[in-house]
Chains A and B, each alone.
Chain A
């Protein structure tokens, strides 16, 4: 009699999924046509290694797309929605339940907000004022949810806090004696 340990035959391939189910939007990446990252926003806490891995995969995936393809991609359990504005790609990762068109609209809104703030925004504006771009984004989205749908309100908030900052800066640059 031969006694043997069971041979487990698992049919399905296990798909490794990172266990951070949190919010509907996971990340927003802006990168240039050369694959240079211009802005990254993570709505869930992730370690640097994971972030870098995702960035690398996103840039290669999106840049490899042919012109006139759809704006949607499936990546692991996420939907990737990207859109190109001039030389800049905006790439948004959302949960599978989200509506693709709404995600596109979110990207578009953000571009409009940037446009309004910088006045006909270009890539250089974002490069040199990257913190402003973040501040605008923080007023628009928060924790992966849309915070404010009204463009006017977002602009007003940004202006107000900029005012606060600038008066501070003036105050600081004044010689103290």
Chain B
């Protein structure tokens, strides 16, 4: 009887097990949520009971509910409870629940450390196994650090079951706690030769994964893997190893030759393996293709092997042909794989794939989306100048046909990607590109409006020649804005209007009818656009307004101008009421301005010039990374304290605990950053190399390079004649086709002309080698762009360092694993081992939790002092490094002087003179004198341009090309060369770095030498001695436009007239008037700044100038001149 009662109560406890829950959910299909919420309430009750069996049951149910998508994070602590049960049944459930529900931010994970450690050392291998499995799902950096040593011990457990799991989980530990890699690696390496095949394959897996990311650290393992490859019986392992070799061979080309033989032996095995897999795909017919699949797999390896061997194009050609068979097959999987392999070949051998363009284009019609996407990827690499238009035309057709927005969006991005790749390298006709972009705006429901917009902006800003056309197109777009915004907001396509408005405003001088556009931009409908677009509208309306005024300048009939201001005044109040702050502010600002202008207009005052001055100046594109690359100026120490650091005693009292725990991670990863520059540079170089060769590495698209050279001025660009045969304003008509046609015609004409020329040439050369010129299909280079296109490169800050640092994702965990494994292990690198804590574990379990708490707090307390000490150390380190750097610098400069001495090459005397005719030109004449007794020739002069000053180079050369000096220097001869610089702002002195390369030739040898120098553009050099009469001088001083400043020249004791002569000579001043102890002097800058000096015999100088910065700099220079004597 008693037994029955107990049993009954047990039954009630288990009244709903997992099966019941599942059944219940299935029975309550219509009110599932309600049913589950009652279930969760029950589970909450069950979790409150003491019986662990009931809890485990509840947790099991929770795991199921979690899978269905219900939040169970509230039960995290109960899961830990079940995990810590001593019974395997419950432990298993607990760990399963933990592995499903826990993630890095689950805070109870902290509590599990000791429990997991206990389980890892459990005598029962399945306990250990379950703990390892669970841990693999939720390992955190803290857990990894604390448990690394325990797991490492498990790698040499007696049971292979445990060893296998321990080896696999080690990879996760490495990722979370990179410091553990070095100490654990020797043991991991041992496991490659473990007697158990499972452990062996696990070790291969882990090392392959590690090596694939940082291959060069694992080169020394190649012989071991080579042995494994020939001896292993496991196909999975084999494939892993072959892949690994694919990553290693680019680093060690000799490996490639060695591998060919074993690989050819293995191909049969791989082929059988793949045929087995294909068999599982339940398509018998596929099996006959399995050799092709095996072969596909080898292609990946082969490509990397072939990098070590030239002349592989024949076999690659064969590969591509076989792939074609695969792609033409009706089975979709094969098709997909074929395309994938094709794209791999494309990366290294683009030529051989390009001939199969027809096939790829055909694949675009496939009904399977993933195949179409693959084909698109391929197309990206296949375009050339010749076929770009054709391919894009095809793609445009697909855009029209495409169903489903995702695919269409994908198409759109691909079109833009294809066209804009490597800085618009393949676009020969930008009018065509603009019209493509305009056509793309007609897409419904795309969410890539901003992409199109940014392309429009980019092209319009950077391709100066296209602006006229672009502005016309944008004006049409603005006029038809209702088509874009018509019905509701079509996800983001209205972004295009942002670009359109900006382009129309900024380049409004090209507008045919600015008044019309102005009207279009101020339509009431605009107020429905998103705020940031409205803001641009308002701002650019003002620009347009300025243009309208300017166009009416000098026109006696001022009605148009007045109409424009009236229009502005009428329409702007709508924007002033806008809820968007930006719009409101801009609108009210501009409204007031226009009102004021209107008043002036009514008084017949010419205002256009002033209004235009608001928007004067050219905008240059700035490279996206420019900001990051601004170098830290000399003498600025970003790490220095601005204020005195708070005193120590204070901080100890006041620092709250939270700070310690926050800063903890910093302190757990010591001295990773302190690698010296050289090492970094070396690594960077090595990495670049490795990335270039690694077929698995997806390269970032090459950073923008110049394709076309910057020509010195806008005037040199022929303005595009818009052919009137092209109707510009036909909305709804795809115009790009016409451009394709036009472009075709143009090319044909060009080709014909070329042929004619060739013929002429050939006629001349008849007697020569005969016809080699007979050009069949036109080659890439033959196609010249439609008009000289000037793609303005994006600006970078002066002396920005080129670096590839940003190529790699800083968050990539594998970067931390780039550790040299062959170095001997230092003591400090050993894994943290529990020493004193071991005793605590032996305490009774009740105390255990407390012990855990104590141990977790302890290091934090310590850390406050420790950290401070470490910081000091770090500072010291940094100082040492700086010292070292400085020493290095000195060394370099000594070496340079050495070179100077050796060739006794002239310390170049140079003179900088401004050119009055052109306010932005400075002529630098340099005297080259050869003081050595060898012959100097092929001298090339180059200067690193800065934003402000640029060396003028002949037309057609790039901004980094050097200038050839037109003479040679026999020993002892000197000669002068002049270089013209363009300077924008002259108010600051400038230093330009440059190099002179030359060939030193004597009887025995000729060597190539380089000489670095700095050109110092002082502000003085921008001043030009200009005579001035005293009355004009007096007027100038009276005008009150000039700012004044004064200095005292210390320690000058020379006659007054010497002093004046010195100033005149060194600083290009002229004396206006001298009254015994006083003299007034005058000079003018090349940009017309007046500089007046009043020098007194007490050697104080009072100066006035309309540009205070310039004045300050000139005075500094004067001071310097006198401090030298």
Residues of A within 8 A of B (CB): 1-2, 4, 6-13, 19, 21-24, 37-40, 42-43, 45-48, 52, 55, 65-66, 68-74, 96-97, 99-102, 104-105, 108, 127-128, 130-131, 134-135, 138, 142-143, 145-150, 153, 157, 160-161, 164-165, 168-169, 172, 175
Q: How far is the CB of B126 from chain A (nearest CB, A)?
A: 5
**A37 x B68 contact (CB < 8 A):** yes
A161 CA / B447 CA spacing, docked (Å): 53
B198 touches which one: A40, A74, A153 (CB < 8 A)?
A153
Residues of B within 8 A of A (CB): 3, 6-7, 18-19, 22, 53, 60, 63-64, 67-69, 71, 73, 87-89, 92-93, 96, 99-100, 102-105, 124, 126, 129-130, 132-133, 136-140, 161, 164-165, 168-169, 171-172, 175, 197-198, 201-202, 205-206, 209, 212, 234, 236, 239, 243, 274, 277-278, 280-281, 293, 297, 332-333, 335-337, 340, 367-371, 373-374, 413, 417, 420, 448, 451, 454-455, 457-458, 461-462, 613-617, 619-624, 626, 696, 698, 701, 794-795, 809, 811-814
A48 CA / B67 CA spacing, docked (Å): 11
CB-defined contacts of B368 to chain A, threshold 8 Å:
65-66, 69-70
**B19 x A128 contact (CB < 8 A):** yes
CB-defined contacts of B3 to chain A, threshold 8 Å:
175
**Can you report 7 A-B residue pairs in the complex whose CB atoms are below 8 A from each other?**
A6-B621, A70-B333, A128-B22, A147-B164, A148-B164, A161-B88, A161-B130
Given contact pairs A130-B63, A160-B126, A172-B89, enumerate 20 new A-B contacts (beta carbons under 8 Å): A4-B619, A7-B619, A7-B622, A12-B417, A22-B175, A23-B171, A43-B136, A66-B367, A68-B332, A69-B332, A69-B369, A73-B370, A101-B274, A101-B293, A104-B277, A128-B19, A143-B172, A146-B201, A164-B124, A169-B89
**A96 x B198 contact (CB < 8 A):** no
A9 CA / B197 CA spacing, docked (Å): 55
**A145 x B171 contact (CB < 8 A):** yes
**B205 x A146 contact (CB < 8 A):** yes
**A9 x B457 contact (CB < 8 A):** yes
B209 touches which one: A8, A43, A66, A145 (CB < 8 A)?
A145
CB-defined contacts of B274 to chain A, threshold 8 Å:
101
CB-defined contacts of B374 to chain A, threshold 8 Å:
74
A65 CA / B388 CA spacing, docked (Å): 31
Known: A7-B619, A40-B67, A45-B138. A101 touches B278 (CB 8 A): yes
Known: A52-B69, A70-B371, A102-B239. A19 touches B169 (CB 8 A): no
Closest chain A residue to B169, Cβ basis: A143
Instruction: Report the 6 A-B pairs with minimum CB-CB distance, sorted nearest first.
Output: A6-B622, A70-B332, A143-B136, A2-B617, A69-B368, A70-B336
Q: How far is the CB of A6 from chain B (nearest CB, A)?
A: 4
CB-defined contacts of B462 to chain A, threshold 8 Å:
9
CB-defined contacts of A65 to chain B, threshold 8 Å:
368
A70 CA / B366 CA spacing, docked (Å): 11
**B137 x A45 contact (CB < 8 A):** yes
A149 CA / B201 CA spacing, docked (Å): 9
CB-defined contacts of B621 to chain A, threshold 8 Å:
6-7, 9
Q: How far is the CB of A1 from chain B (nearest CB, A)?
A: 6
- Give the A-B contact count at a CB cut-off of 8 A: 210
A44 CA / B236 CA spacing, docked (Å): 22
B277 touches which one: A39, A96, A105 (CB < 8 A)?
A105
A2 touches which one: B103, B337, B614 (CB < 8 A)?
B614
Q: Which of B87, B137, B169, B171 is most buried by chain A, counting CB atoms within 10 A of its CB?
A: B137
A108 CA / B161 CA spacing, docked (Å): 23
A19 CA / B73 CA spacing, docked (Å): 23
A137 CA / B314 CA spacing, docked (Å): 45
A144 CA / B451 CA spacing, docked (Å): 36
CB-defined contacts of A43 to chain B, threshold 8 Å:
136-137
Closest chain A residue to B462, Cβ basis: A9
A12 CA / B337 CA spacing, docked (Å): 28
**A172 x B53 contact (CB < 8 A):** yes
Closest chain B residue to A7, Cβ basis: B619
CB-defined contacts of B617 to chain A, threshold 8 Å:
1-2, 4
A13 touches which one: B164, B337, B448, B614 (CB < 8 A)?
B448
**B280 x A145 contact (CB < 8 A):** no
**A168 x B454 contact (CB < 8 A):** no
Q: How far is the CB of B89 from chain A (nearest CB, A)?
A: 4
A111 CA / B1017 CA spacing, docked (Å): 77
Q: Tell me what chain B mostly uses at the interface: helix, strand, loop, or mixed.
A: helix
A11 CA / B297 CA spacing, docked (Å): 35
Known: A2-B615, A72-B370. A22 touches B96 (CB 8 A): no
CB-defined contacts of A153 to chain B, threshold 8 Å:
198
B63 touches which one: A10, A22, A131, A147 (CB < 8 A)?
A131
CB-defined contacts of B370 to chain A, threshold 8 Å:
69-70, 72-74
A70 CA / B696 CA spacing, docked (Å): 23
Q: Which of A7, A39, A145, A160 is most buried by chain B, counting CB atoms within 10 A of its CB?
A: A145
**A37 x B67 contact (CB < 8 A):** yes
Closest chain A residue to B373, Cβ basis: A74
A171 CA / B18 CA spacing, docked (Å): 20
Q: How far is the CB of A170 from chain B (nearest CB, A)?
A: 10
**A143 x B280 contact (CB < 8 A):** no
A139 CA / B427 CA spacing, docked (Å): 55
**B60 x A131 contact (CB < 8 A):** yes
Q: How far is the CB of B1094 from chain A (nearest CB, A)?
A: 29
A164 CA / B172 CA spacing, docked (Å): 28
A139 CA / B839 CA spacing, docked (Å): 34
A72 touches which one: B124, B333, B615 (CB < 8 A)?
B333
Known: A47-B103, A105-B280. A10 touches B454 (CB 8 A): yes
Q: How far is the CB of A50 from chain B (nearest CB, A)?
A: 9
Known: A66-B368, A70-B333, A105-B280. A165 touches B88 (CB 8 A): yes
**B92 x A135 contact (CB < 8 A):** yes
**B175 x A101 contact (CB < 8 A):** no
**B69 x A37 contact (CB < 8 A):** yes
A24 CA / B161 CA spacing, docked (Å): 22
**B137 x A72 contact (CB < 8 A):** no
**A138 x B239 contact (CB < 8 A):** no
CB-defined contacts of A157 to chain B, threshold 8 Å:
129, 161
CB-defined contacts of A102 to chain B, threshold 8 Å:
236, 239, 277
**A101 x B277 contact (CB < 8 A):** yes
B87 touches which one: A105, A161, A168 (CB < 8 A)?
A168
A138 CA / B133 CA spacing, docked (Å): 7
**B202 x A145 contact (CB < 8 A):** yes
Q: How far is the CB of A22 from chain B (nearest CB, A)?
A: 6
Q: How far is the CB of A86 from chain B (nearest CB, A)?
A: 12
**A9 x B458 contact (CB < 8 A):** yes
Q: How far is the CB of A160 from chain B (nearest CB, A)?
A: 7
A150 CA / B199 CA spacing, docked (Å): 12
**A131 x B69 contact (CB < 8 A):** no
A97 touches which one: B92, B696, B813 (CB < 8 A)?
B696
A161 CA / B281 CA spacing, docked (Å): 32
Closest chain B residue to A164, Cβ basis: B88
Closest chain B residue to A50, Cβ basis: B103
**B451 x A13 contact (CB < 8 A):** yes
CB-defined contacts of A149 to chain B, threshold 8 Å:
198, 201, 234, 236
**A175 x B6 contact (CB < 8 A):** yes
A21 touches which one: B93, B124, B172, B813 (CB < 8 A)?
B813
**A48 x B71 contact (CB < 8 A):** yes
CB-defined contacts of B22 to chain A, threshold 8 Å:
127-128
Q: Which of B124, B281, B448 is most buried by chain A, counting CB atoms within 10 A of its CB?
A: B281
CB-defined contacts of A148 to chain B, threshold 8 Å:
164, 198
CB-defined contacts of A55 to chain B, threshold 8 Å:
69
**A161 x B92 contact (CB < 8 A):** yes
Q: How far is the CB of A51 from chain B (nearest CB, A)?
A: 9
CB-defined contacts of A127 to chain B, threshold 8 Å:
22
CB-defined contacts of A138 to chain B, threshold 8 Å:
96, 99, 133
A99 CA / B277 CA spacing, docked (Å): 12
A172 CA / B56 CA spacing, docked (Å): 13
A142 CA / B166 CA spacing, docked (Å): 10
CB-defined contacts of B198 to chain A, threshold 8 Å:
147-150, 153
Closest chain B residue to A13, Cβ basis: B451
**A45 x B89 contact (CB < 8 A):** no
